[in-house]
Homo-oligomer: A and B are copies of this chain.
Amino acid sequence: MTTSTTSRRRRGHDPESVLHTAVGVFIERGYDGTSMEDLARALGTTKSAIYYHVPGKEQLLGRALDRALDGLSELMADERAASGPAFDRLQWVVRQSVAILVDRLPYVTLLLRVRGNSVTELRALERRREFDRFVSALVKEAAAEGRIRPDIEPALVTRLLFGTVNSIADWYQPARGGSAGDLADTILKITFEGLRVR
């Protein structure tokens, strides 16, 4: 046996490892605050070596955002988001969103910070808005079913519900925090049953 997995490669990097490291640095310093020199340092190489593996800084961001967004797309395409009472589907979507967030943490973290500064970011924002509309419709249905409180606008419920979910990205550490399932349970408990003891 020679060195690594398949089709042995002699040294260094590949597009995947560059992306992985880049996303980490992007999160730490912000995308705009990260220079290619910063990336090179984090990878232990030179700027020009990076360009051998990936086409540039913005494409690096684009690939990262797509990983997060593909997760959400798969979620929306799932049959479990399409059949049954809206209330149950909503809970399933929240649970799955937590799972995706934890599973693809760095990519989703990056997505949540995008503000639309470039074509890449604008495209990502548009795909993200699609998911928002999807959830919003679910909340509206669940309200129509009479299963969630009718005294708060569905649009506001959606925003606050996913504000809670997305805030995970600000503090979750895979090593310390519990499993994604436990975290989802907690979030569903708080958001649907409330904090107060009764």
Question: Which residues of A are interface residues toward B (Cβ below 8 A)?
Answer: 28-30, 32-33, 113, 115, 117, 146-152, 156-157, 159-164, 166-168, 170-171, 186-187, 189-197
Counting chain B CB atoms within 10 Å of each CB, which of A29, A147, A156, A161 scores highest?
Answer: A156
Copies in the complex: 2
Q: Please state if B189 and A190 are interface contacts (CB–CB under 8 Å).
A: no
Tell whether A194 pairs with B197 under 8 Å between CB atoms, given A30-B30, A160-B164, A170-B163.
no
Is the pair B156, A163 in contact by a Cβ cutoff of 8 Å?
A: no
By the criterion CB–CB under 8 Å, are A163 and B161 in contact? no
* A166: nearest chain-B partner, CB-CB: B167
Q: Taking chain A's interface residues, is the majority helix, strand, or loop, or is none over half, making it mixed?
A: helix
Of all chain B residues, the one with the shortest Cβ separation from A161 is: B195
Contact of A191 among B150, B157, B159, B194 (CB under 8 A): B194
Residue of B nearest to A168 (CB): B163
Chain B, Cβ-Cβ closest to A171: B159
Inter-chain contact B196/A147, CB cutoff 8 Å? yes
Nearest-neighbour CB distance to chain B for A39, whole angstroms, equals: 15
Chain B nearest CB, measured from A132 CB (Å): 10
Tell me, in angstroms, the Cα distance from A71 to B148 when the chains sit together. Answer: 34
Given contact pairs A163-B164, A194-B194, a sample of 20 additional A-B residue pairs in the complex whose CB atoms are under 8 Å apart? A29-B117, A30-B117, A147-B197, A148-B195, A148-B197, A149-B193, A149-B195, A150-B197, A152-B186, A152-B189, A152-B190, A159-B167, A159-B171, A160-B187, A163-B163, A163-B168, A191-B191, A191-B195, A192-B196, A193-B196
